[in-house]
Amino acid sequence: MNLDVRTIMLMWSGINLLGAGMMALISFHADNVRGARQWALGHCCMGIGIFTSTQMSPEWPLWIIASVPFIAGCGFGLLFNGIEAFKGKRCHYWVPVWVGGQMMLQSLWLGMVHDNIRMVVATNSLLVSAIFAACALSLIVKATQPLKTAYNLAAASFSFIALMSLLRALNILLKPAEEISLFAQGNVNPVLLVLGGLSQLSISLALVLLITFRLVSDLREQATHDSLTGALNRRSFEDESRRLLARATRTGDAMSIIMIDVDFFKRINDMYGHQAGDEVLRRLAALLQTIIRSEDYLARYGGEEFCILLTGTNEQGAALLAERVRLLYADLRVDWKGDSLQCTLSAGVADSSSVGTELAALIDAADQALYRAKNAGRNCIALHSDSA
């Protein structure tokens, strides 16, 4: 196929600049998603670097010639940084500087000092292959759908460009030096360059999908979870509980409810302020999350009241858990502006063997037991069966 390599590289440049525009627009409107700004800057640097390299002339000033591989290399490194930031990891900003510096040094040393264009193209291709392979490996993570699909698409696209760059380097190293120039047709099959450009477009689309699916996931999280404590909100808890209780009706499994209330919570708000009260609730929710199993459900049911649905657990088992929570929370110290707050809680427990599998009935029974625990002096638990 008779395709001009320089034209294909210009196509790559345009794809990168288009991707930079998309990422920049997204980053302005979704600043809570990490990585978008690095991807926008990375695409921009790659686009500028590739475009400038196709127009470069030996008569240009040395500082411009040196800056072209540096800018392009920084762009490659910023793509990697963006992936790490998107996953919530710390960005090492020396990575794009190192990649850019390495590409600049080997281009100047091999191209201008040794006048060896063959090694310039080969070493730069190997460097691009390495950084894109690192990006692909970084995208191999455990994720739920639809994020997993976007991760896999991006990883496959990065992998293809890494493979294409590696093949380009090997092809150049096997050819006679006199046949090699920066944009020679023989450096690599032009078809592979076109496929590489399409892979670059695929990378941009996959990164946009990652951001979109993350935003959708965050919106779903906000709709189903309490923003203060991270526990389920009341509506989501009731929806999930009804589903599990319906299954328990068919299987005969025991289900238990624990209602928990922080003792004298109003006094904390009055003495230390509502922010201190919020911290008390956050610490309690964090404690509960570390104790319950993955198949159990925790919700902030209202105010300072929490509710736990325990699957496959009878009243006695739930009472043991409630007592453990009570003791741990009584020993917990919440540091707040120089003060050490110590709180207690009361809990009521009920199970499906005595109440049935109707959610409203279970919650009402646990609530009645909680009321008795408070009347008994607080900082204790009460069982619904004890009142029968």
The CATH number of the domain where 274 resides is what?
A: 3.30.70.270
For residue 165, is it within any domain? Answer: yes
For residue 228, is it within any domain? Answer: no
The parent domain of residue 285 ranges over 234-387
Domain identity same for 195 and 307? no
- Report how far Cα 5 is from the mean position of its chain's Cα atoms: 38
For residue 224, is it within any domain? Answer: no
pTM over 0.85, yes/no: no
DSSP letter (8 states) at residue 315: H
Q: What angle do CA 309, 326, 274 make, to 5 degrees?
A: 90
Domain identity same for 76 and 33? yes
Rounded Cα distance between 66 and 268, Å, is 64
Query: Would you call 315 a catalytic residue per the annotation?
Result: no
Q: How many domains does the chain have?
A: 2
Domain identity same for 239 and 215? no
Domain identity same for 290 and 175? no
For residue 23, is it within any domain? Answer: yes
For residue 105, is it within any domain? Answer: yes
Q: What angle do CA 96, 133, 144 make, to 5 degrees?
A: 100
Q: Which of 304, 305, 315, 323 is catalytic?
A: 304
For residue 279, is it within any domain? Answer: yes
Domain identity same for 200 and 272? no
Question: Residue 21: CB partners within 8 Å, gap ≥ 6?
Answer: 40
Q: pLDDT tens track of the chain, all 388 residues?
A: 556 777 777 888 888 888 888 888 888 877 778 888 999 999 999 999 888 888 877 778 888 888 989 999 999 999 999 999 999 888 888 999 999 999 999 988 887 777 777 788 889 889 999 999 999 999 998 887 788 888 898 899 899 889 988 988 887 777 765 555 555 555 455 666 677 777 888 888 888 888 888 888 778 778 888 889 989 999 999 988 888 888 888 888 889 999 999 999 999 999 999 999 999 999 999 999 999 998 899 999 988 999 999 999 999 999 999 999 999 999 999 888 888 888 999 999 999 988 888 899 999 999 999 999 999 999 999 999 877 5
The encoded tokens of residue 216 equal 């959708």
Rounded Cα distance between 147 and 309, Å, is 29
Question: Residue 150: CB partners within 8 Å, gap ≥ 6?
Answer: 206, 209, 210, 213
